[in-house]
Structure 1
């Protein structure tokens, strides 16, 4: 288990739980050094004073905020420590909310919270079981590195996890990114839903054959080969999809068929779609009534759709 990165307590109501914060994730990325190509010497970053034009030590370096091009306000570490932060040594729970009500985009890096000592074992377990039973998560505030942060407490296995969260004003609005209205038929949407169902897995991500970092594996093979004086292996890249216009419905049907073959299902598998909601009076005049139907994907149907007029993506 890695060393604690922070120690303090969880605080909610009159309950205080001493905890240690340890990293919950690992970074397996391969990192490179910069080097001088002519002689192999390492290239390092040096901290140089622009006025004196010399390298300075860490003890000579302070913090400052640039108000304008010519004005810098210096802030010392002592001044930062004196700023009143009630959450400096406590993760203060502000509210409990349904876990599924939290937007994933707001959730950041995760840390395990470990009970600190025997006195913390019982209240720690009590909070974990309570969160687990009612499917709730705790929204909390805590301070690290001189900055107050928003946090999320949730349960993973037998442990409580702390996630850093982004403040509401740190999330950009996606309204300007949304595409304009696109004309889609009910049949196209039905096939997309069917494709999602055919690719749905009961198992979790852990252990899935596709849940591997193929790029890092290939990069490791290249590094080992060069270190041993061998020629790096050549990996054929998958062909990128072209920019040609395709028949969306035909592509969806083919994708459903392939997904079924990968799962060992036969062509004769039948999938029932739920009845659609009744259309409004305005839509009834321009569209056919859609009732509950059974979709059956066969080779014969795929051939039939190929004769339909193509639709632009």
Structure 2
């Protein structure tokens, strides 16, 4: 049994079966609330309920309900008036239908409650309804009255308990008119493939691992201020750049997601085109590689030929230089021999 104060006592009407129950809140708020204070002296700012006719403060016992008409006239409404409303759901959660769970629009979901069995006599019919909901894979649609108005609810099984989600009436949900972009946008297959890759990389998550980081940071600030210390400075948020290229942004997102998961290969791999309604590109990566290889080989051949020509020219130049040197030496030798012969003749 939940040790939480019930906010409503009544019964579930299941055909001719009546199940006494207690309505208990299924959720709780952990948000930090603040008080309004006077900045000059830190005094609390309080709201007082004052009668505008007598200009005096009144107590809760003196306050009732009233409906303001279009002309400003106040029509008093008493608790007795509300108790005599012709509502069969005043103290009853009346099940009106059983439908598949996916037929309920999540936009209609409101507050959540647990329905606790009201005593030992309620155990048998409570368990019967719970097991019937389990076996049918359906949810129950019910009407009930709470806080002065009739409401719509959905009953479903949560572990071994029956939970009820308050539902908005269909006419309370606005249509999404004017929300979607007016401009015509074309999304190509590569962008969809990258978006799919990003979703696959991010994968799923256990919701129990998520927590309110803002509340934790706020608690640190409150604790530091209470201790007379300087509150910790928060890191500057990353500046969001202007997205100029959607493909580039998707590729970077996939790479960042892989790196955050510690994957060794953080390179973005383009997904192959899907067979359904996807056309293959005119030129494959293999052809591009072959063409590039051919161009590279041609460049190497040209460079080799140029090198050979340069070497041949150098060799010919060297041969000419050597020939000239040899000829010059022979000429010098002949001149020297002639000089020696002339000198001998004169001496004789």
Query: How does the TM-score come out when normalised to structure 1?
Result: 0.81
> 2:154, 2:273 → 1: CA distance?
36
Query: 2:300: which partner in 1?
Result: none
Cα separation, 2, equivalents of 1:240 and 1:155: 45
Retained in 1: the 8 A contact 2:273–2:279?
no
Residue 195 to residue 160, structure 1, CA distance change in 2 (3 Å): same
Shift in alpha-carbon separation, 1:273–1:105, aligned structure 2, 3 A: farther
1:266 CA displacement: 4.3
Structure 1 match to 2:232: 233
1:106 Cα deviation from its structure 2 partner: 0.5
Residue in 2 that maps onto 1:250: 248
Distance in 1 of aligned mates of 2:272 and 2:69: 61
CA gap of 1:273–1:122, structure 2 versus 1, over 3 A, is farther
The TM-score, its normalising length taken from structure 2, stands at 0.74
Give ranges in structure 2 of 5+ residues lacking alignment: 281-348
Distance 1:170 1:57 in 2: 35
Select the residue among 252, 261, 264 that pairs with 1:263: 261
Range moving further from structure 2, 155-164 or 178-187:
178-187
Candidates 46, 55, 71, aligned match of 2:57: 55
Structure 1 residue aligned with 2:180: 178
Are the structure 2 counterparts of residues 198 and 90 from structure 1 closer, same or farther at C-alpha, using a change threshold of 3 Å?
A: same
**Of 76, 80, 83, the match for 2:82:** 80
The aligned length equals: 277
**After the TM superposition, which residues 84-103 of structure 1 pair with which residues of structure 2 at under 5 Å, given as runs?**
84-103=86-105
The secondary structure found in structure 1 opposite 2:5 is coil
Partner deviation per Cα, 1:79-132 (whole Å, 9 max, x = no partner): 111112111111111111111221111101111111111222222222222222
Shift of 1:204: 3.1
Which is helix-richer, 1 or 2?
Answer: 2
2:135 is equivalent to residue 136 of structure 1: no
SS in 2 for 1:175: coil
- Asked whether the equivalents of residues 81 and 146 of structure 1 are also in contact (C-alpha less than 8 Å), the reply is no
Q: Residue 111 of structure 2 aligns with which residue?
A: 109
* Match in the other structure for 1:195: 198
What is the deviation of 1:276? Answer: 5.5
Separation of aligned partners in 1, 2:240 and 2:147: 46
The DSSP-based 3-state class of the residue aligned with 1:74 is strand
Provide the residue aligned with 2:31 in structure 1. Answer: 29
Tell me the SS of whatever aligns to 1:177.
Answer: coil
**Distance between the aligned counterparts of 2:40 and 2:103, measured in 1?**
56
Q: Distance in 2 between matches of 1:86 and 1:135?
A: 28
- Distance of 1:226 and 1:250 partners within structure 2: 44
Q: Over aligned residues, Cα RMSD in angstroms?
A: 2.3
Q: Work out which of the residue numbers 274, 290, 293 in structure 1 matches 2:279.
A: 290
Unmatched tracts of structure 1, length 5 or more: 279-288, 292-313
The verdict on how the C-alpha distance between 1:131 and 1:70 changes in structure 2, with shifts beyond 3 A counting, is closer
- In structure 2, what is the equivalent of residue 220 of structure 1? 219
